[in-house]
Structure 1
Amino acid sequence: PGGNDVRRWRHRMLLILLLGMPAGCAGIGRERVTTPGGTTIEAGVPLPTPEEEGGSAQALPVLGPSSTLEDYLAYAALKNPDLKAAFHAWKAELEKIPQVERLPDPRFTYAYFIRNVETRVGPQRHKFGISQLFPWFGKLRLQGDVQFEKAEAARQRYEARKWRLFYEVRKAYSAYYDLGRSIEITKENIALLDYLEQVARARYQVGSAGYADVIKAQVEQGVLADRLRTLEEQIPPLAAELNAQLNNPLDFPLPIPRTVPEEVLDVPEAQLFAWLADSNPEIQALAAEVRAGERRKELAEKRFYPDVMFGLDYIETGTSPADPPENGKDPIVAAFSLNLPIWRESYRAGVRQALEETSALRLRRIERINLLGARLKTALFNYHDADRKVRLYRNTLIPKAEQSLKATESAF
């Protein structure tokens, strides 16, 4: 009996070891991932946040009168909550990869014989079992591929949100700058009209000008004063629009920008359209979803093949009073099972579903390329039109206006 106890404990230890083995060898996870900032990290290591990815040296810029557009863009990239949400959504998709690439948890079973099964070598009392399900070859890899492409789509959506944020910040920053310049120019015009009104009043007093000239100057003064009041009242809403992108309180005091960068487009239009199709993050996100759909179709085809389960059962057996040979010997049973994939039409429907979903994604990608191409055409027209107007005002209208002002001053 002492030998039987030793053997029984050895069998139990073997069962415990078998129970722990699949946890360490159950997956085929990817080894490295690269973040949008170019940081390479090991699988299973938490991704850095957008702030951490920029490094400790990338502190939050202080927005003051001398701040540039680049300072505002860096500030928004570090604080905008929607951009952070897109980053964490991508991070969450990445964390799903090791989950879908792992084997299912092993199953441990225990059975107690309410009525002992009497055998030649003794009564059977307890049964312990361990089993592991192994999906058909390639299923785990395809599940990982599908989730990897979903994570890539989330990464591209994060990139798209970042560029959209930069566009919104540039737009609000430029509008805020334009407002500041309009206020400065209006104040200069008011000062000029004050001077002309004084000149007209002096000429009226000496009889060299009519009172209508004085009234005209005073009317223009009132119009400009009202315009200045309107412009100054636009400061809070425009500042609030910029603060919204920066995740600041809406009434946070932002100084009016002093400069705005003048950007020159020196890239051929054909190159811009090529970049649109190859590098636009919205289109790349749809391309990743198409690849995920193709992998889902392959995964659906794997349902035609069975999953296999291997198991091991250990039965604890008591001793028999008759003391036969191998008295109290505990049997060990190897088990094998598989599911029977007999519902073929259901599996074919799954394949067809994956094909239809992938076709829809391909068409959506084409539609997005067409829509963004049309928007690029409009943006190029607006750019060239604005560039033409800048040259018109700089080279023709402003010099003519200065000549007209000098002539008016001479006439007065």
Structure 2
Amino acid sequence: MRPAQSKKRQNQLKRHLLAASLVAASSVGCSMPARQRSPLAVNRDASPTEQAPLSIAADAVAPGVVDSPVSVGNQEVQPVVYNDNVVLAAPTFSALLAAVDEEETGEDKDDDENNKKSDSKSDDAQSDEAAATVPPPVVGAQQPVEYFLSIALTQHPQIAAARQRVAAATYVIPQVTALPDPVFTNQFWPIQDQALQTAGGRVGHQMALSQGVPWPEKLRTKGAIASREVQMAQAEVDRIEREITESVRLAYYEVWFADRAIEIIEETRDLIEDLTKVAEARYRSGGTQQDVLRAQLESDRLDDQLVVLTRQKEVAQANLATLLQQPISLLPQATKELGLTNVPEQLDALVNLAEQCNPELRGLTWEIQRDRQKEKLACLQKYPDLQVGLNYSIINDNVNVISPVANGHDNISFTVGTTLPIWRDKINAGIREAAFRRSSTTERLEAQRDSIYGRLRGLLAEADALVEQTEIYEDRIVPRTEDTLKLAIADYRGKRTDFFTLIETYRQLLAYETQLARFKASLAGTVAKIDRTVGCP
């Protein structure tokens, strides 16, 4: 078995060499560029699945030879550069692969087949596990608005991007609170007869290690500034979440209104069919055909309204699906119950809640505190920064030494330095700049507070009006119109009124019921706007 294993390892080594001769992936980030790496560097310990994919850009231009040919067996592989990617192209590469494949034994092929089967099983298991973590989409199922809100707050890319900005801002704190990098220098004299001479002998090297030490309060202030910026980024996350929540609720209420309007049309269609039958019966008993035609015309008008409402519903569903990051085929459905909560009534209570919860106000508050820390940092520029260092000199007393008492003892010295903040005009200008920025942010906070106060007053007045209109339509107008329509139908059957009066009453009922649904949807949307303005989750 050992010769077979050795032969197998040799074949694998050949394939690794051929794969390495095809491509060397260009580096990214802080790693060494691809032009500086050797095209033959191969990680022999890595498995074949860890190697880079063998691919050549289709738009590669301007090939150029960058190194001498590489010999693999009896063939030569020529290194060529394609857009910063090193490729080793061989004219008979397919023949080389065929030769290596012919050397593989049947046992190796069986092992490969077994490995492929095991890999496919593991891939299937991983795919099943990933599928289990994602809830299956429900097509056509009616869901409350809270269900769609949970999806949007979890999957919306704007929220994810804002959270990533918060995570990025947290890593600024250790950067600004750390000391600057130390500096190492080495001064040497390659020509001995021109080197620096001391009583102890000739100086060969003078090495120095220095470290800048800012005023301690400066680093703490920079850390406080970075912390405030993290809190500002978190306030931005909350603002985007409130904005997405409002958009989802408004889109959901539009879907609900379209469903309710379509339901009203469907209910009215049965009434029109009954009126058509009554008109046909009167026509057969000697009445006019005009009533039958008017009834049929009303049925056609309902069909037209149904088309308009269906299109309106599809648009609202598309808007809601866009906010939920759902495919076009999965159109969300609203429940029959709107689930409208109580409308807030006290303006002062809303303003107090907005002072505590509104993300925009909280973000500006954190920004003011950040500007205060920046003003403090500008004042700290009056204090000097320190510079400490260690010097080490290597002394030689062997050759070309002038001093007769040279002993070759190395020298160690320490240095302490400081900056001189003497340019007061520059420092004072920085302080005034920070003060004006803080004052500007304070005024922006006051303006935003007034804007929120005015917005809440307008939304609360709108909500109160919608509540009153909803109660009037729901308790008085719609029931009375229904009673009027019932009487009109009875009078028409008894030939005590004409068909025109009956149709007008029917149209009023249809308009009132549709308007009532619009009032409810608008009221729910106004409450959503109030919640977004207040900002509390």
Q: TM-score scaled to structure 2, two decimals?
A: 0.63
Task: Name 1:197's counterpart in structure 2.
Answer: 276
Matched, 1:403 2:479: no
Matched, 1:360 2:436: no
Task: Name 1:238's counterpart in structure 2.
Answer: 316
Matched, 1:135 2:214: yes
Task: Name 2:465's counterpart in structure 1.
Answer: 385
1:298-309 matches, within 5 Å, as: 298-309=376-387
SS at match of 1:234: helix
8 A contact 1:60–1:75 mirrored in 2: no
Q: What does the per-residue CA deviation read over 1:3-54, in whole Å, with 9 as the maximum and x for residues that have no partner?
A: xxxxxxxxxxxxxxxxxxxxxxxxxxxxxxxxxxxxxxxxxxxxxxxxxxxx
Gaps of 5+ in 2: 1-131, 494-537
Looking at structure 2, the residues matched to 154 and 74 of structure 1 have their Cα atoms a distance apart, in angstroms, of 22
Q: What does the per-residue CA deviation read over 1:323-382, in whole Å, with 9 as the maximum and x for residues that have no partner?
A: 977822110110111121121101111001001111110101111111111111111112
Amino acid at match of 1:285: G
Task: Name 2:252's counterpart in structure 1.
Answer: 173
* Greater gyration radius: 2
1:3-402 matches, within 5 Å, as: 62-64=137-139, 65-114=141-190, 115-207=194-286, 209-250=287-328, 252-266=330-344, 268-320=346-398, 327-402=407-482
Amino acid at match of 2:319: E
8 A contact 2:142–2:334 mirrored in 1: no
Task: Name 1:11's counterpart in structure 2.
Answer: none
Looking at structure 2, the residues matched to 407 and 188 of structure 1 have their Cα atoms a distance apart, in angstroms, of 19
8 A contact 1:310–1:337 mirrored in 2: yes
Looking at structure 1, the residues matched to 420 and 136 of structure 2 have their Cα atoms a distance apart, in angstroms, of 63
Amino acid at match of 1:203: R
SS at match of 1:248: coil
Amino acid at match of 2:146: E
Deviates more, 1:109-118 or 1:127-136: 109-118
Q: Residues 59 and 242 of structure 1: is their aligned pair in 2 closer, same or farther, counting only changes over 3 Å?
A: same
Q: Residues 161 and 147 of structure 1: is their aligned pair in 2 closer, same or farther, counting only changes over 3 Å?
A: same
Q: What does the per-residue CA deviation read over 1:278-329, in whole Å, with 9 as the maximum and x for residues that have no partner?
A: 3211011011111111110110011111110100011111234689778221
SS at match of 1:304: coil
Q: What does the per-residue CA deviation read over 1:72-130, in whole Å, with 9 as the maximum and x for residues that have no partner?
A: 00000011111111111122112111111111111111222233222222211112221
User: How many residues are aligned here?
Assistant: 355
Gaps of 5+ in 1: 1-56
Looking at structure 2, the residues matched to 370 and 336 of structure 1 have their Cα atoms a distance apart, in angstroms, of 55
SS at match of 2:195: strand
8 A contact 1:125–1:315 mirrored in 2: yes
Looking at structure 1, the residues matched to 362 and 288 of structure 2 have their Cα atoms a distance apart, in angstroms, of 71
Q: What does the per-residue CA deviation read over 1:102-160, in whole Å, with 9 as the maximum and x for residues that have no partner?
A: 11111111222233222222211112221111111300011111111111111111101
8 A contact 2:144–2:334 mirrored in 1: no
Give how far 1:59 is off. Answer: 6.3
Q: Residues 267 and 131 of structure 1: is their aligned pair in 2 closer, same or farther, counting only changes over 3 Å?
A: farther
8 A contact 1:176–1:257 mirrored in 2: no
8 A contact 1:121–1:320 mirrored in 2: no
Q: Residues 184 and 282 of structure 1: is their aligned pair in 2 closer, same or farther, counting only changes over 3 Å?
A: same
Task: Name 1:26's counterpart in structure 2.
Answer: none
Amino acid at match of 1:136: W
Q: Residues 380 and 388 of structure 1: is their aligned pair in 2 closer, same or farther, counting only changes over 3 Å?
A: same
Alpha-carbon RMSD across the aligned residues, in angstroms, is 2.1
SS at match of 1:359: helix
Looking at structure 1, the residues matched to 163 and 214 of structure 2 have their Cα atoms a distance apart, in angstroms, of 32
Q: Residues 187 and 193 of structure 1: is their aligned pair in 2 closer, same or farther, counting only changes over 3 Å?
A: same
8 A contact 1:129–1:311 mirrored in 2: yes
Give how far 1:58 is off. Answer: 9.7
Give how far 1:246 is off. Answer: 1.1
Q: TM-score scaled to structure 1, two decimals?
A: 0.81
Amino acid at match of 1:89: R
